[in-house]
Structure 1
Amino acid sequence: MLVLAPGGRDAAVATAILREAGFAARACPDLTALRQELDRADVAVVTEEALSRADLGDLAAWVRAQPAWSDFPFLLLAHRGGPDRNPEATRLVGLLGNIAVLERPFHPTTLVSAARSALAARRRQLQARDALVAEAKAADRLRFALRAGRLGSWEFDGDTGELRASDACKAVFGRKPDEPFSYAELLAAIHPDDLGRMQEAVAAALAGSGDYDIEYRTVWPDGSIHWAEVRGRAVWDSDGRPIMAGVSLDTTARQAAAEELRQHRERLEDLVAERTRALEAANQQLRAAAEERDHAEAALLQAQKMEAVGQLTGGLAHDFNNLLQAVLASLDLIRRRSGDPAQVERLAAAGADAARRGARLTAQLLAFSREQKLDLAAVAVIELAEGMRDLLARALGPEIQLHYAMDEAVGMALADATQLELALLNLAINARDAMREGGRLTVAVRMAEFGVNADLPAGRYVAVSVSDTGEGMSPEVAARAFDPFFTTKGVGKGTGLGLSQVYGIARQSGGMARIESVLGRGTTVTILLPAAESEAAARTLGRQPTGIPKEDLSKLGAGSLVLVVDDDPDVRRAMVAWLDALGYRVAEAADGRAGLAALKHLTPDAMLVDYAMPGLTGTEVAAAARRLRPGLPIVLATGYAAAAEFDPGVLAGLTVLRKPFRVEELAKALRDARSAERRCHPHASAG
């Protein structure tokens, strides 16, 4: 607010009153200063004496030049009231227009109230200005949008039938800007086949049934056919007259493109159908060829595997015959020298050792002939490798030198001992084949420690390496050496399973297998196994005593009854004799059905069942026996596979004993089975 009051303290008092009321007020020293500030002000408070003798021409010109929306408010502080009693006020109203007269003296609240009213009126003027500006901008944007979108605007009076169309709208129908274009001329420009549809749409829109949205063909004055898309909406004015307004667009190019696209699509569909038929025929040929190839590969794989088994078992059969010879010789000598206890014990120990070696060879054959889950335990790798020295030497032959490089500080590794032996044997045979002119094979065991590595967790590992001085591999061959069925040997010379099996054993053990090779200089394959140096891991080896003193074995049975079910009479007789020596009473059955029949009138304290029997398997007999005698301790004896390969639901609560086993292991298995059943069924009776 501007204040012009040059007399006395009027300006200071009026400014103070307005500021105290919350207004931004500023005093002007003279009329010139007031005029210069008016463009930035909202209200002017002036005294009568400040204007009565001044030249108001410039101020009056400013008032007349205001835009239509503006009527600047003045508050005139006069001594003699309003225009009816003050001729000077009348003159000022004529010059300045919007003047409110306050007669002095007045109360401050009167000035504040008048100032608020004047300010509110000025704000309404400014709002009207903003609305007018926004409307003008919107109109500009609409005109720009219509031009940019090549849209024509139109308006149709539903009562009078008057049509008003823009130049762009006329162009959609082939008319020039200066040509008249009435509603009748519009109807004449529409294709006859589309006219009825257009008139129905107009009638529906005027009846309030929805927007007007249609696309139809038009006929231009030159006879050419075009397309127009027209959209609009009906509104009703204050007199209730229906007015439709909207836009129109020439869509001839779009329709032509759509027609061309449709034709392309039809041609493409024909091509796709033809190509699909050709592909289906080719796929049928490929499937037939693939099936034929699969049959051939399966036959070849089976032949190669059988050949590989034959190659491996050829050497093992020789060793196994030697072991059987040692067992037979020991048994024959025991029979001939039964009166010499010391000699009998020595011969029995030698025979047992040979039998254990035979069991290890059998496990190797089982591991090679079928896929097994690993039985991981802490393994003394150096002892295992040393135990294979003779076997490896025979597999390599006399032309290849076998050398061992062992780091005696190496502890135990987490591995499956049988599978690790198989891996070493496979590597030795591969190395032998790579040294056709003879050479040197080195088996090395050392410790290795790794930090963070992409393919191996950080930690300590036992590294088992097999190195040869053979022909080596190229980088391309070495990169694929661990792939299943990949082999550089000729057809019928190898299955390509050896190195992939080594890799799988290492990975399943939590380690890694790596290969280093230089063409013409040899190959080194390293198996990295996690170190397992704790006492708990060492106890899983199974090489320590069973914890049952030899002199106490005869007291274990304490007269308890054990039912033995085995279809092999020799094995059954041996089991009966062992159990009798352990102090058990024994009942026997020749197969599963006989064993279940015996349970109907016997109440055994435990049951020893062979797994592989005709008719019913050992697991089937065990399941049926539990239904007849809940809580009966059962030991399952098997020479075929690890316990992990059986159905876990059938094995629950069973004690599995791997053949061949010693009398101490049988005694421990029976003791463990009875203890386990007592924990699971504390109130169950053995019978």
Structure 2
Amino acid sequence: MKFVHAFSGIALVIGILALAGYVLDMPGLIALRPDHPGMSVITTLGVIGLALALVASSNGRRRIAASLAIAVALTAVAVLASHAASGTDRLSAHLAEHLFRLSGRAVPTSRTTAIALLGIAVSILFSRRSVIADLSAGVGVVLSTMALLGHAYGMHELSALVMFSSMALPTAAAVFMLAIASLVLRPDLGWSAVVASSYAAGGAARRQLGFMLVPPVVGWVLVQLVYLERLDVDAAMALFVVVTIIPMALMVLRDGRGQIALDDERKSRSEAMDAVIGQAQQQLVDQFGQLQAESAERARAEAAMYRAQRMEAVGHLTGGIAHDFNNLLMTISGNVQLLKRKMPTDDPLSKYLLNLSSAVTKGAKVTQQLLAFSRSQKLSIRPTAMESVLVNARDLIGHSLGPTVTLHLQLDASDAWALCDADQLELSLLNLVLNAKDAMPGGGVIDISCERSQMSATGASCVRIRVSDHGCGMTPDVLARAAEPFFTTKEKGNGTGLGLAQVYGFVTQCGGEFTIQSEVGSGTTIDMRFPSSAPVAERPVGERAVPVTPSGTARRRIVVIDDDAGVRDVIVQGLRDEGYLVSEAADGESGLQRIEDFSPALAVIDFLMPGLNGAEVARIAQARHPGLPIVFVSGYSDTLALDGVSGAIVLRKPFDIQALNRAVSAVIDPA
């Protein structure tokens, strides 16, 4: 704001001096020389008003500044209207006569001065709109500069123009100061922001504006020398060109060098920014790739989890189905056996009973596979020499493959031992090899290999058995469901869809891992991983302790507890046919009461029943009657809970009635 105060102060001093000239009737304060035009009364008051308006605006008193500027603007418009109407300024004469009693000696206000004052007033009013303010103030700068040059060079030609008829030197100086003050009123806007900028552009603007003072000064000096006849006009013009062009050229070169430096710096920053952006983009690409990999891994893990959950749910379902199916088979099988006992061997109906027995046997195999998938079978998991199992499986399977299929066995770990059930492993290998054969209708080679490896999930040591073929392979959709029970792509009647389900359930129950890799047209590879084991020697199995049994008639008493009426009737009738006294119950609670009331020599108990299960009933009964023999019958194969029952015998449904009689006789009537 100090520049506004300084320029406004100079203009204010000029205006006050002129006003003092009118008040004190001192023409020397109005015009510098008698032959020069002076400052009119309206111009004097306008200069003072605009100077005060600029000071007020710079101090934040915008209402006062706006009021003064509006007053000056309206007065200037009135002067211009007077010029338009009568060709001269009549307002200044009237004002001088009424205020200062200067009749006939008033100086008129020129159109140039009125336009300049109007432009400065508009600039003050629109100081927040940089374009209007700068253009309005620029009009005042141009007009006052032209007048100052005319007075400096003594050239009346500049004042002979229409708009420059007469602007007094004090007026030109005051207007110039006011115009500059209005330009710098808002240093943060418009042209003044460019000049005041701390950047390189601001420095260049200040240098170029400073250089603009050189031509007028040099021109004035040369003109004076020409007037004094020290130089002729041609030499003066040559000197003027040299003196003005050389500094201008140096300034242009300096600014050009600065621009080059700015361009180089801008280029360096751009290259650095490009490098940073490139690095950031590469980081984004890497992070995106990492996120994609993590997402894919998460998707695979979720798919594996969902598949495991689905297989677990299907396992529970198939286990329940197998239990119920075994009860049905037991009812059918038991009744068939009872009919056989009462039917002559040469009866024509015997063949139908034989067909029923064959169907029961096939159904029992299906339920065993279901139980294997559901991990409900009771396995004999022990350290097993893998070489002997694989060799036995090869001898068992090899001759049934036909001449077009070759079975190749590769033992890279011939001395490997693993924890598994040898019999179920042979069955699993049989299922896998038969599936591989069906995948190669034109023949081919089936490879079975055994080697030491590691579990993919835990990294624990294991033995891997791999079965691979070069058959038709599986599509991704088929591969996702390959181990589900009853899922098969074979024609109807050519498979149950339980082969891979049995293998999956067996391997999982052994604590191993089961994986399938397949590609259409390239074949299938199936890996079974079993936990490694140290070699062990065969140990003889101790004899089962003979339970204590009652003597006399009580030795023939038996309690049968089974919730399935059909199964219970078959067992009861079979035992009664052998001469035993049998009492029956449909659940655990009533069965325990029958044991209390009947004092049996033995109890036949179903494992899975509503309320108390068979194991719980047996433990309570033996707690009340120590040494009571127990024979369990179960449609489930997972009977680990029965191992805690002392002296228990387990029969798997469907069983033969004679097997039941032999088990009961072995306890009640030992040899």
- Which category describes the TM-score, using the shorter chain as reference length? 0.3 to 0.5
Q: What TM-score do the two structures reach when normalised by structure 2?
A: 0.35
Highest CA radius of gyration, 1 or 2? 2
Q: Larger % of strand: which?
A: 1
Q: Larger % of helix: which?
A: 2
Q: Which has the higher contact order (CA 8 A, sep 6+)?
A: 2
